[in-house]
């Protein structure tokens, strides 16, 4: 399991709904680590299945073994920079992989299939334009976003042709602890998998804004942060705990055949983000900590989605950006480097990606074990309560589960 909202949702579902069996299905690609779900190994309602979303045999075996009835399909190649140089891989995973998932889901008579997409499928949004609704035209501008838009076409086709019970979620950028520290400005659907519901399910790691952990790791090492272009591009930031709440809301209240934007109110430029990170480290902008590099072949200046449709189902963004950023930076300063092992190769401006999965080295095992033991103890707090018919994680768990970041109070 990688990082991002996928792993957050896995932990949220396992701990909040003990009556559900949650199965994490993951390829364990370069951006994945078993550390992200080790806390759940002792939970009776959690299982892990290693497999490739592009393998019909792997997917079918998992669905049949656990009698899966619900899928969250987070899996995708999602590093925008890499999509400019290796676009075939993005088509293979994001388009063909989604096709495999849909065909296997149809054969297994899945009752719910939630396809996790991205706000990037809409393309660039002008500064003076209104936030885009779910019915807006898709106009992706990079190979990654194009592959996600193509995947959505398949999802819609299986809904229309075969009545496969699908829903689509398009999120703003998700950030938080447990992310692999790559340089990317998009929703991360890392490695492979999905998440499900009782009696069996499958899940993977998806999503998130890796620029925050990457820059945090660079500043921790006393190095400059490097921005693409002028740094005036803006993105909207959503804390991973709030994203998990949103997916829970879609799972339990969403309507089959519908699309839901998961929108954030926190729109921040990359330059402003750098300034806030420097402030977290007690550093001054005047000390020349920010450098600029050549921009991508094309870099969308802004994304903006209207998330009112999801809010009408009861979801709300709860975590202010300042609070979420501090939680994230504090976690990476304490655990980030040992959590992922050697990350030297991905801290460059245009990172070098190596295929072996990055799991902490053997000599770090003792430290990681102690961290996970501390997290397990923290999670033995009060059980989730029910508020207005919707289960929510208790405030006590939210306060003590520091390795998960701060779980939002509204784990709907």
Rounded mean pLDDT, 47-67? 96
The stretch 222-239 carries a mean pLDDT of 88
Q: Which of 108, 91, 143, 147 is nearest to 25 (CA)?
A: 108
* pLDDT at residue 329, rounded to an integer: 92
Question: What would the pLDDT profile of 237-281 be if each residue is shown by its tens digit?
Answer: 999 999 999 999 999 999 999 999 999 999 999 899 999 999 999
Residue scoring higher pLDDT (385 or 144): 144
**Smallest Cα–Cα separation from 150: which of 87, 223, 213, 218?**
87
| Cβ atoms of residues 326 and 280 within 8 Å | yes
Measured over the CA atoms of residue 32, residue 371, residue 375 and residue 331, the dihedral's sign is negative
What is the pLDDT at residue 388?
33
pLDDT at 349 (0 to 100): 53
Place of tokens 């520091």: 402
- Predicted local confidence at residue 211, as pLDDT: 81
pLDDT band of 29, cuts 50, 70, 90: confident
Mean pLDDT value across residues 337-348: 66
Kindly list the distances between the CA atom of residue 288 and the CA atoms of 226, 284, 291, in Å, as whole numbers in the listed order.
11, 8, 7
Catalytic residue among 69, 120, 242, 375: 120
Give residues with Cβ within 8 angstroms of 154, minimum separation 6: 95, 98, 99, 102
For helices 4-16 and 240-253, what crossing angle results, to 10°? 60
Terminal Cα-to-Cα distance of the chain (whole angstroms) = 23
Secondary structure letter of residue 45 according to DSSP: T
Residue 318, pLDDT score:
97
230: confidence class by pLDDT, cuts 50, 70, 90: confident
Give the pLDDT mean for 338-358: 55
Structure tokens at 55: 């393998």
Mean pLDDT across the chain: 77
User: CA–CA separation, 187 vs 168, rounded Å?
Assistant: 14
Per the CB < 8 A criterion, the answer to whether 45 and 66 are in contact is: no
Specify the higher pLDDT residue, 197 or 366: 366
Which of 183-192, 224-233, 237-246 shows the lowest mean pLDDT across its residues?
183-192
- Average pLDDT of the residues in 320-328: 95
Q: Put the strands of the sheet holding 166-171 in their side by side order.
A: 200-202, 68-73, 112-118, 166-171, 259-262
User: Where does the pLDDT of residue 3 fall: very low under 50, low under 70, confident under 90, or very high at 90 and above?
Assistant: very low
Please tell me the distance from the alpha carbon of residue 248 to that of residue 411, in angstroms, as a whole number: 7
Neighbours of 198 (CB within 10 A): 16
Q: How far apart are CA 220 and CA 335, in angstroms?
A: 12
Question: What's the pLDDT band for 344 if we cut at 50, 70, 90?
Answer: low
Work out the pLDDT band at 57, boundaries 50, 70, 90: very high
pLDDT for the residue 14:
96
User: pTM value?
Assistant: 0.78
Whether 144 sits among the annotated catalytic residues: the reply is: yes
Choice between 78 and 307, residue whose per-residue pLDDT is larger: 307
C-alpha–C-alpha distance, residues 397 and 412, integer Å? 15
Closest CA to 11 of 176, 145, 148, 164: 176
* 358 against 78, higher pLDDT: 78
Do 247 and 72 form a contact (C-beta atoms < 8 A)? Answer: yes
- So what's the pLDDT on residue 79? 60
Based on the residue annotation, tell me whether 242 is a catalytic residue of this protein: no
Query: Tell me, what's the pLDDT at 391?
Result: 34
pLDDT bracket for residue 85 (50, 70, 90): low
Most confident of 63-77, 82-96, 160-174, 198-212: 160-174
Q: Work out the average pLDDT over 316-332.
A: 95
Beta bridge partners of 49: 25
Write out the two tokens for 130.
């209104």
Catalytic residue among 17, 20, 144, 237: 144
Q: Note the pLDDT tens digit of each residue in 353-411.
A: 443 333 333 333 344 444 444 444 433 333 333 333 333 333 333 333 333 333 333 33
- Candidate list 4, 119, 152, 242, residue with the active-site label: 119
């Amino acid at each position: 399991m990688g990082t991002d909202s996928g792993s957050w949702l896995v932990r949220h579902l396992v701990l909040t709904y003990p009556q559900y069996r949650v199965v994490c299905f993951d390829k364990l690609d370069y951006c994945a680590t078993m550390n992200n779900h080790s806390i759940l190994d002792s939970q009776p309602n959690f299982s892990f299945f290693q497999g490739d979303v592009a393998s019909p045999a792997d997917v079918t075996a998992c669905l049949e073994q656990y009698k899966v009835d619900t899928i969250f399909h987070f899996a995708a190649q999602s590093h925008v920079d890499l999509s400019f140089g290796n676009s075939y891989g993005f088509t293979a995973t994001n388009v063909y992989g989604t096709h495999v998932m849909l065909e296997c889901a149809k054969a297994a008579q899945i009752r719910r299939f939630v396809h996790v997409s991205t706000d990037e499928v809409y393309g660039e949004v002008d500064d003076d334009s209104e936030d885009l609704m779910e019915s807006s035209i898709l106009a992706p501008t990079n190979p990654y976003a194009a592959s996600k838009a193509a995947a959505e076409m398949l999802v819609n086709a299986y809904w229309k042709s075969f009545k496969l019970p699908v829903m689509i979620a398009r999120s703003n950028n998700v950030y938080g602890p447990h992310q692999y520290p790559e340089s990317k400005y998009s929703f991360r659907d890392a490695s492979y998998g999905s998440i499900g519901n009782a009696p069996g399910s499958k899940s993977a790691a998806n999503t998130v804004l890796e620029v925050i952990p990457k820059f945090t790791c660079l500043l921790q090492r006393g190095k400059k942060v490097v921005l693409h272009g002028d740094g005036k591009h803006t993105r909207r930031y959503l804390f991973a705990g709030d994203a998990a709440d949103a997916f829970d809301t879609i799972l339990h209240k969403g309507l089959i055949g519908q699309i839901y934007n998961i929108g954030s109110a926190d729109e921040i430029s990359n330059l402003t983000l750098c300034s806030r990170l420097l402030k977290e480290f007690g550093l001054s902008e005047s000390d020349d900590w920010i450098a600029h590099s050549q921009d991508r072949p094309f870099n969308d200046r802004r994304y903006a989605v209207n998330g009112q449709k999801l809010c009408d189902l009861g979801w709300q963004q709860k975590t202010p950006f300042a609070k979420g950023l501090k939680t994230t930076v504090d976690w990476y300063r304490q655990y980030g480097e040992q959590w992922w092992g050697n990350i030297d190769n991905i801290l460059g401006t245009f990172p070098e990606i190596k295929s072996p999965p990055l799991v902490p080295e053997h000599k770090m095992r003792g430290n990681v074990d102690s961290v996970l033991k501390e997290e397990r103890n923290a999670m033995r707090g009060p059980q989730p309560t029910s508020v207005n018919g919707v289960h929510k994680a208790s405030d006590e768990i939210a306060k003590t589960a520091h390795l998960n970041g701060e779980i939002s109070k509204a784990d709907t």
